[in-house]
Structure 1
Amino acid sequence: MDVLSDVVAVTRRGRPRSAHVRWHAPWGQEFASVPGSAGFQVILQGSCWLLAPDAEPVQLGTGDVVFLPHGRGHTLADSPEPPVTAPACGPDELPLSETRDSDTHVSDSVDRSGDGGPVTVVLCGAYQLDPARTHPLLLTLPDLIHLPAQEGRHPELSSAVSLLAAELENPRLGTDAAVPVLLDALLLYILRIWFDEVSSQVNPTGWAAALNDPPVTAALHAIHRDPAQPWTVAKLAAESGLSRAPFARRFALLIGQPPVGYLTWWRMTVAARLLRTSDAPLRSIAAQVGYTSEFAFANAFKRTHGMAPGMYRRKT
C-alpha cells in the first residue's frame, strides 16, 4: 500500500458521513468546529459563500471543492452576510433528514426550503480522524484547501464527485456500500491534488517534498509495506539507494524525525488500529508490527500511548 492510502486507512475512524443538500435563498448553515474531524463541501449547483472566523469570505461556484482537514468551524451561506437559518452542526449532525437514524446512516439527500430564491446544491461530508494518532502528513495541511473548478483539470476528482452525488440523490441497491468507498476516493483525490500542486512550487518542503523525493519515498514505502521487518537505518538506506548517513539526514530533514523514530511511531499507530478493530491476540499484533516479544511490544506501546495494550483495547 502506498503512503497516502495507508495514512488515510489507518488514521480515519468509523464511517464517513455525507449529505446532498438543496438550499433555497435566503439561507445559511453553520458547521461547528470539531477537532479530530475533516470536512468537505462540494458545490454541485449554484453558488455560495464560505465564511470562517478571522478569514476573508470565499466565494464558491459550481464545481468548487473545499476541504477543511482540521475540522475548522465555518458557515456556508447564500451571501457574505448571511441569516443563519439552522443551528451549528458537527460531523455527526450534518444537515440530514430527520427521518434517518443518526447512529447508522452514512448519507442522505435533503431539501432545505427557504423563500423560493435561487437554489444552491451542496455535497457536504465529514471524516472522523483519530486525534491522538493524526499522521504528520495531515498536520502539515492548511486549515482550508480550496480547489476551484477549472474545465479539464482534475478529471478524477470530478468523476468521484459526480458518482457520489448520483448515489446520494437517487439511492439504489448497493448505495450504502458504494458511498463510503466513494467518500474515501474523494478524500484521496483531494489530498493527491493538493500535494501535487504544492510539490510543483519552487523549493517545496516537508511532506510535499518527501512524497516527491525518490529516496525518502522508497524508504517510506518499505516501512508502510512491511512494518514487521526488522528495519535498521542501514536497511532503509539500502532501500533508498543512498548510504546510511546521507539518507538519515535527508529523511529527518523532510519528515521531521529520524527514520527509526518514524518507524516506531508508525508501528504503534498500526498496532493501535489493530487493537481497536480486531480481536487478534497481543502476540499476533506484536508480530505484525515487528516485535518478537510480547513484553517488548507492550513496553513500547505503553511509552507511546501512555497505557498498556490491553487497557487501550478495553477503553477504545
Structure 2
Amino acid sequence: MDVLSDAIGAMRTGRPYSALTKAEPSWAMEFPAFQGARFHVVTAGVCHVIRENGPTVTLGPGDAVLFPRGAAHALENAINGDGQLVCGAYQLDQARPHPLIDDLPELVHLPAHAGRYAGLESSIALLRNELTEQEPGKDVLVPALLDVLLVHLIRAWFTERAGQQHTGWCVALGDNLIAPALRAIHDSPDDAWTVQSLGERAGMSRAAFARRFVALVGMPPLTYLTWWRLTSAARLLRTTDAPLGAIARHSGYGSVYAFANAFKREYGIAAGQYRRQRATDHHHISEWTPASADLPPELVQEAQ
C-alpha cells in the first residue's frame, strides 16, 4: 500500500457513515467534537460552517469541508430556500494519529473547481446518487465510496498546499527523493533499514538524505521507521489473530522478546494486554472487509 492509504488504514476503527441532508430555510445543526473525522459537501444551496475558534466558512454547490480531527462546529442554511448536503463521518483512532493526518489543519476547505479534481467530483456525485437511490448493493457501495472520498479530499488538499509550502507531508509525498524512501519503509517494514540504505534508495548521501528527511517529515528516518513498525503492529494486534511471533517478524523485530520490549516502551502496555483491551474497537471490521484482507501473505497463513 502507499503511504496515504497506510496512514488512513492504521487509524481506521470501523465503518464510515453518511447521510443526505435537506437544509430548509431555517435549518441549522450542531456537530459536537468527535473522535474521528467529519466531512460535509454542499450539493445545492449555500451553507455557513461556524466554529468557536475560527472564521465562518461559506460553502456553495460542490464545496467540501473536512474536519480531520472531528472539531466541534455548526452548519446553517445561508439562503432563503432549500439546500442539500452530503454529511458523513469516519471512525478513526485519534489517540495515535499518523503524522500525515496530524499535519492537516483543523478544517480542510476545498472550494469547487470544475474539472480541477475530477476524482473528487466523481466520488461526490457517485456517493450522492447512492444515498438518493435505494438500489441493491447500496450497503457495500456506500462505505467503499466514503473511503474513496476521504482519500480524494486529503489528496486534493495536499496538492493545493504542495505548491505553497516547502516542508511538511504535502511536500514529502510528492518529493522524488524522499517519497521512494517512505514507500520503501511502508512496503517492507521488516527490512533492516539504515539511514545509509534508505539514502541509497533516494539516490542521496547519508547525511544529505537525513537532513532532507527531517526537514520534510519532521523526524529522523529511523525514528519514523520505528514509529511506523509499531503503529502497523498495533493495528495487526487490534484487527487480527495473527501470532505475536508473526507480527514481530513483520514489524522488523528478530524475536518476540525484542518486539514486546519495544512495544511496551512505545505504548506503555504489553502487546498481549493491548490486544485484549483494543480488540473490541474493531469487532465490526469483519462486517465490511475480512480481517485478513490487509495482511501480508505470511501473516494470513499463520493466522489460519
TM-score, normalised by the number of residues in structure 1: 0.85
Which residue of 2 is the match for residue 160 of structure 1?
Answer: 123
- Higher relative contact order structure (alpha carbons within 8 Å, sequence separation ≥ 6): 1
Contact 2:69 2:94 in 1 (8 A): no
Which residue of 2 is the match for residue 92 of structure 1?
Answer: none
Which residue of 2 is the match for residue 23 of structure 1?
Answer: 23
Which residue of 2 is the match for residue 298 of structure 1?
Answer: 260
Q: Which has the higher helix share?
A: 2
1:174 paired to 2:137: yes
Which residue of 2 is the match for residue 14 of structure 1?
Answer: 14
Q: Distance in 2 between matches of 1:52 and 1:243?
A: 46
Task: State how 1:105-144 maps to structure 2 within 5 Å.
Answer: 118-144=81-107
SS at match of 1:286: helix
Which residue of 2 is the match for residue 74 of structure 1?
Answer: 73
Q: Which amino acid aligns with 1:189?
A: H
Task: State how 1:1-316 maps to structure 2 within 5 Å.
Answer: 1-34=1-34, 36-79=35-78, 118-201=81-164, 203-316=165-278
TM-aligned CA deviation for residue 125 of structure 1: 0.7
Q: Which amino acid aligns with 2:48?
A: W
Q: Which amino acid aligns with 1:75?
A: A
Contact 1:198 1:204 in 2 (8 A): no
SS at match of 1:56: strand
TM-aligned CA deviation for residue 264 of structure 1: 0.4
TM-aligned CA deviation for residue 246 of structure 1: 1.0
Contact 2:238 2:275 in 1 (8 A): yes
Moved over 3 A (4+): none
TM-aligned CA deviation for residue 54 of structure 1: 2.5
Q: Which amino acid aligns with 2:263?
A: F
Q: Which amino acid aligns with 1:228?
A: D
TM-aligned CA deviation for residue 148 of structure 1: 1.0
Q: Distance in 2 between matches of 1:151 and 1:240?
A: 36
Q: Which amino acid aligns with 2:185?
A: I
TM-score, normalised by the number of residues in structure 2: 0.88
Q: Distance in 2 between matches of 1:236 and 1:78?
A: 51
Q: Distance in 2 between matches of 1:136 and 1:223?
A: 15
% identity of equivalent residues: 49
Contact 1:16 1:183 in 2 (8 A): yes
TM-aligned CA deviation for residue 64 of structure 1: 0.6
| Deviation string, structure 1 residues 119-176 (Cα, Å, up to 9, x no partner) | 1111001112112220111111111111111222211111000111111111322111
Contact 1:49 1:59 in 2 (8 A): yes
Q: Which amino acid aligns with 2:16?
A: P
Q: State how many pairs are aligned.
A: 278
Q: Distance in 1 between matches of 2:258 and 2:95?
A: 22
Q: Distance in 2 between matches of 1:130 and 1:155?
A: 29
| Deviation string, structure 1 residues 60-118 (Cα, Å, up to 9, x no partner) | 111111111111111111149xxxxxxxxxxxxxxxxxxxxxxxxxxxxxxxxxxxx62
Q: Distance in 2 between matches of 1:152 and 1:258?
A: 38
Contact 2:36 2:69 in 1 (8 A): yes
